[in-house]
Structure formats: structure tokens, C-alpha cells
Structure 1
Amino acid sequence: METVVTNVPTQHQRVLSGMRPTGRLHLGHYHGVLKNWVKLQHEFDCFLFVADWHALTTHYEEPEVIEKNVWDMVIDWLAAGINPGSARIFIQSRIPEHAELHLLLSMITPLGWLERVPTYKDQQEKLKDRDLATYGFLGYPVLMSSDILMYKAGLVPVGEDQISHLEVTRELARRFNHLYGREPGFEEKAEAASAKMGKKNAKLYRELRRRYQEQGDQEALERAHALLESQQNITLGDRERLFGYLEGGGRIILPEPQPLLTRASKMPGLDGQKMSKSYGNTIALREDPQAVEQKLRTMPTDPARVRRTDPGDPDKCPVWQFHEIYTDDATRAWVREGCTTAGIGCLDCKRPVIDAVLAEQAPIAERAREFEADPKLVRNLVAEGCEAARDVARATIEEVRAAMGLAYR
């Protein structure tokens, strides 16, 4: 379930999300990420990117596989229903401004912020076969922050386990705005901007600002946000000044993103564990139907059912987890009754799951074949997305350079 945060300024109601190019995706990716992206692209201004630089933080010794993985993954996105007309699809490394913002933000990032990110040591433990004592791996959250802040994304889809990464981004935005948002004559410019709203609205803004700053009145803050969002006759720069002035800071150059909490994927692997390539328990999104059927037919079941006549317990069977995703209440009731009384065999139980998985994959595979047959079309779609993303990135980096005193004229 997604939780939409409403106190983000409307001009920043933009969603940014990315995925590392690990090759063709599996059903875990589809149910955990892609189906959510397909929904979000119709509700928000979505920027979806291939995080190829992020892939290098852990797979820098395998450059030969990255390009193939990128195009395989993009075809999976398109086949799953991501529409380039509704969402901008781009490749991270095609937008060099990401690297510049990463460098500039690294200048103000305390080392301790990175060392305390929970996944820093967790990943080092999990990936002991790789040398991760690198600057790039430590700075991963800064690069991720650059990706988000570059597009002034107000919302970032994350699971509960990723909130710590997003908090680094929020802290960096806060620190940047504190250091560089205090432009000369800021208060005078903010007061002048409020006057442009008209006498009545300017008076209301000042009253709400006073109530928030003197009394910590959250309702006043929310009302002031709504007031600013409704103003049509002030510039984006003035609006950002007024948001910053309202909260007692400077101009908000890089807005703090909010988490868009997403339900954790419940897609199990063939062995009942989380579906993951590292566990070797996956079904690829575009896997051959015969291979899919064979994998599902040979899935392990309740170990208590040694013989066909032995009763079983669905709650101890990996196949039951697939039923919870793919079949309806009536089918699940039939399975539970048949399993616990030995009225049906394990292959009988698996048949509805096999049929449902194949039915889900068929239209995806059909769309994928069309894109595979026309690689030029795929590359053109991505090139258009990269150009649109770079237009936004150029504007942000110019603003950042100016704030940091790097806009030499």
C-alpha cells in the first residue's frame, strides 16, 4: 500500500525511482517494483532510471555485462507496461550532471553520516567475495541523494528497509539549504515575494508563519503550504523563498524528498525463501513457458507428504505462498481442503498456479518480443527520456552552482 505525503509542494510532486541493471528481471521484481511503477506513472510526474553507476559500486570488475543488462532490463520495463509517454526512462550515466552533483554534495557530507547507514556494513558482510573497501561504495548514499535531488523529487518509492538511505538524502538537502539558501537580502526578498500574493494573502501568510515559528503550530504550517501552492502569480524562485522563510531557514534550493512507502514484495522463490538470483530460486519475467512449468511442477512441497495418501499442511508448503498471490478464494479453499485430507495430490495443487503464472507472463513476453525485434526503437525511447531528464538536470545544476558561488560570469 502506498502512503502519499501531501505536504510536499505541488511543483515537486515528482516521483524518482531507479533500478540497478542486473539483467533480465524476475517475478520478484515485477510484483515488488514494476507493478507499482506502472500505477505511479499515471498519478505522478515519474522519472525512472537505470542505475548503471550504482551497479559499479559492487560490480566494478564486470564491465562486460553491464550494457547487455541495461537493454534487457529496459525491455522488461517496457514489456511490463512502463509507458515512455507517461514516464521518463533514462540511463544514469547519460546524465553527467549526476556526477557533478555527487561531487558537490560530497564536499558537505560528514563521513559519519555514511558510516552509520545500516546497509553499509550489512552489504559488506553479505558480499564478502567482493572488495567493497572503496570510496564509491562508501559514497553510494551520496550518489543516490544526487539522483533524487537532481530532479527535486518530492516522493521516492521505498520499502521500510530503505528509509535510512532516504534520510541521508533529506539530511543532505537540509544541510545544503542551510549553507547556501541564505542568499544576500533573503528576508527582504521573501517579504517582497509575499507582497506579490496580494494584501489579504500576504497578511494570512505572515500570521501563519508567526504561529508556526512562535508556537510550533503544525496546522498553521500545513495551511501556509496550501496557501503557497495555490498562488499562481509568484515565480518558482519566490515560492521557494517563501517556503524557506516560513520554516525559518533560507531559500529551499533542494527540496527534502518524502518516502512513498510501498508494500514489501510477497513474491516467494521456488523454495519458499525470498525470490532472489543469489538463491537460485527465481522465475524470470520472460522465461520460456515450458521451463516455467517444469520449475513449478518440481517445486518442493510439504515434506510430510511423502506419499499421495499422506495429508499435508499448506502453511508449510512453498506452493501455498504462490496460491496466495495467484489464485482466488475458492481455489485456495479447494487446495486447503484437498491438501489436509489428502484428497488432491501435489501436482493437482500446482496446476492452478502454473496456469496463472503462464497467463500473467504471456502478454509481457509478447510485448517484449516486439521490442527485441526493434532495438533501435528501444534506444530511441531511452534517448528521448535522457534528453528530457537532462533538461531538468541542467537547470538544477546551474542553480546549485550559483548557490555555491561557482557560476562565473
Structure 2
Amino acid sequence: MKEAIFSGMRPTGSLHIGHYLGVLENWKILQENYKCFFGIVDWHALTTKWQDSADLKAYIEEMLAEWLSCGIDPKKSTIILQSLVPEHVHLHMVLSMLTPVSWLERNPTVKEQARELGIEEQLTYGHLGYPVLMAADILIYKSKKVPVGIDQVPHLEMTREIARRFNFHYKEIFPEPEALLAEFPKLLGVDGRKMSKSYNNAIYLKDDEKSVNEKVASMITDPERIKKTDPGHPDVCNVFSYYGVLFKSELFQVRERCEKAQIGCVDCKKQLAKKINEILEPIRSQRNYYLSHKDMLWDILKSGSNSASSYCKNTIREVYEAMKLNYPI
């Protein structure tokens, strides 16, 4: 039997090319070797978007359409909507009863999010406690590994601490999940900052050819290269960094032409935009197809969520028995 793993995304807006390269390409590989549960975690979305819940249904549909378009296969993976698997919430409630508030208050990620959103004084109970829900998402499947990048490893430690606490006080039920490290390529936004929806600097999977061309044309290049005849410095150029992630086979040629002033920044950007559009065109086409068949999307979510619920019921039974809650469930 394949080892189970869980990974999820918050449906808070359109996916960009960084999500495709950093997460979805990795998921495509994992679904060949693991029993994968991939979740659209809508409860987590409400931790920061609770007042904008009217958009959530559309974001869920868009996210699933983009997952499918990028190769996440419901025949190989179980795709769920978090709120349709009640066992996630059941375990979350149990774990929230034994998690000290001090653990949550020292979480640097919560503090950083609150500062970025300007809500330090309005931090909600759900936002503060999201690491407990995250732990429930992972532990309900008894996941021994969690796919993360190296910078996310500290976030996983909270889940491990919560698992240890439950196992110590009740019974050894939960494995302490380890990081399944993946090399997530880093792409900056078109303005050179972190690629983010809030910065409006991302290239989205849904962007049409014209939008991609305009965004790439606006990208920051070598600030010391004033004229086309000036030799370039590729290592400080954001356009060159995209070649380094997306088109490694052409990296040497692009570097050489830039350093020898054989190509100008405008032409280099046009070539990059063309190549990005070649990657995105089949994704855009599939995405539009799925969004025009929304009943199909919800059938996938309902089927996957029902399957996951059946899988998770055994874990909940074990938890209740360990706690001497001998309820007839």
C-alpha cells in the first residue's frame, strides 16, 4: 500500500507561474509514488478572508480547474475540498483542546501575516489557531511525510509537537511527520520583488498572450546596461533568472549573447515572453474548458471528499478510543 501524504492550497485567488513550478510540478511527481490527498483548504482561506467569503466558491472552481490543467489527475490522486471532509474539523477540535496558547502566540508566520495585512489588533481566533487546523489536515491521514520547501520546515515543527503531545497523553496514534523536501524554484515577480498576488507583480496561469507580453516587457533588467551595445551582467537581471528556471538548456547561450552585447534587453524579453506563452497556452486552453464544465469540477470534489472522509473515519475512531470517548460512531 502506498504511503499517504496530504498537501493543500488556500483558494484565495488565481494561481501564478510560481505555483505551477514550485508546487504543482512536484505534486505531479508525487502522485505517481504516494497515495496523495490534495486539498483545497477553504477553512484556511477564511482565516484571512473571512469578510470576503462571497468570492470563495469561484476561487475554489478556478483553483481546481488550474490544478487539473497542470496535470493533477483525480484518477491518481484524491482531490478534496476541506470543508466537505468533516473529520478534518473533528480532529482539529480535539487537537485545539490540548494545544497551549503560548505555542500559537510564538508562531512567527502568524505575526508576519498579521503585520502584512495590518490586522495585528484584529487577529481572529481562527487565524491564531490555524497551525492546529494544519496539524489536523496532516495527521488525520497519518502522513509520515509532508512535501515542503526548505524554508517551510520550521512550520512543520508545530504539527510534530502537537502529535507528540497527543501521543504522550493518550496513545501512540500519530506519526511525527517529516519534511519531504523538494527543490522549489524561486521566481521573483516582474518588479523584482517576491511574486505575490498582493503586489500585483505575478504572471498568472490565466494570463492571455497580450498580458504576458506586457508583463515581461515591464520586467527589470541590468540597471548598468544603458545601450544595446553595452555588455550585460546576466546575474543581476530578473529576465535571466527566468531563463535559469524555465529554460535551462538555453541558459549558456542567453548568457553569452548578453555578455557580448549580441542581443538587447527588449529582444531578450520578447523571446522570454514567447516561451512563457508556449508553456501557458495548453494550460489556458484546458482551464477554460474546465471552467465551462463546473458540474464536472464539483463532481470531482464531492467524490474525492467522500473517499477521503471514509479513509479518515478510522483515524477518528482511534482517537476517540484513545481518549476513552467510547461513542458509537
TM range (shorter): over 0.9
Aligned to 1:318: 238
Q: CA separation in 2, counterparts of 1:353 and 1:260?
A: 32
Aligned to 1:47: 37
The answer to whether structure 1 residue 363 and structure 2 residue 302 are counterparts is no
Shift of 1:270: 1.0
Counterpart of 2:56, as a letter, is I
Aligned to 2:137: 147
Aligned to 1:307: 227
Runs of at least 5 residues in structure 1 that lack an aligned partner in the other structure = 1-10, 182-251
Q: CA separation in 2, counterparts of 1:376 and 1:320?
A: 42
Aligned residue for 1:277, secondary structure, equals coil
Counterpart of 2:312, as a letter, is A
Deviations 1:320-360 (A, max 9, x none): 1111122244x333332332332221122223322221111
**2:39·2:81 contact (CA, 8 Å) conserved in 1?**
yes
Matches of residues 160-179 of structure 1 in structure 2 within 5 Å? 160-179=150-169
**2:320·2:327 contact (CA, 8 Å) conserved in 1?**
no
User: Which of 8, 14, 18 in structure 2 is aligned with 1:24?
Assistant: 14
Aligned to 1:102: 92
Q: CA separation in 1, counterparts of 2:119 and 2:74?
A: 38
Aligned to 1:127: 117
Deviations 1:177-229 (A, max 9, x none): 22111xxxxxxxxxxxxxxxxxxxxxxxxxxxxxxxxxxxxxxxxxxxxxxxx
Shift of 1:394: 1.8
Matches of residues 179-194 of structure 1 in structure 2 within 5 Å? 179-181=169-171
**2:144·2:176 contact (CA, 8 Å) conserved in 1?**
yes
TM-score in terms of structure 2 length: 0.94
Q: CA separation in 1, counterparts of 2:192 and 2:231?
A: 20
**1:327·1:352 contact (CA, 8 Å) conserved in 2?**
no
Shift of 1:67: 1.2
Counterpart of 1:336, as a letter, is R
Shift of 1:309: 2.8
Distance 1:138 1:298, change over 3 A: closer
**2:111·2:120 contact (CA, 8 Å) conserved in 1?**
no
The answer to whether structure 1 residue 388 and structure 2 residue 307 are counterparts is yes
Distance 1:264 1:328, change over 3 A: closer
User: Which of 238, 242, 261 in structure 2 is aligned with 1:342?
Assistant: 261
**1:75·1:368 contact (CA, 8 Å) conserved in 2?**
yes
Whose radius of gyration is greater, 1 or 2? 1
Deviations 1:229-275 (A, max 9, x none): xxxxxxxxxxxxxxxxxxxxxxx322221211122332221122222
Aligned to 1:86: 76
Task: Indicate the percent of aligned positions where both proteins have the same amino acid.
Answer: 45
Aligned to 2:273: 354
**1:79·1:367 contact (CA, 8 Å) conserved in 2?**
yes
Q: CA separation in 1, counterparts of 2:192 and 2:218?
A: 13
Deviations 1:290-347 (A, max 9, x none): 2112221232221222233333211221111111122244x33333233233222112
Aligned residue for 2:317, secondary structure, equals helix
Aligned-pair RMSD on alpha carbons? Answer: 1.8
Matches of residues 213-228 of structure 1 in structure 2 within 5 Å? none
Aligned to 1:114: 104
Deviations 1:7-55 (A, max 9, x none): xxxx682110000002220001111111001110011000000111111
TM-score in terms of structure 1 length: 0.76
Runs of at least 5 residues in structure 2 that lack an aligned partner in the other structure = none
Q: CA separation in 2, counterparts of 1:408 and 1:362?
A: 53
Shift of 1:129: 4.7
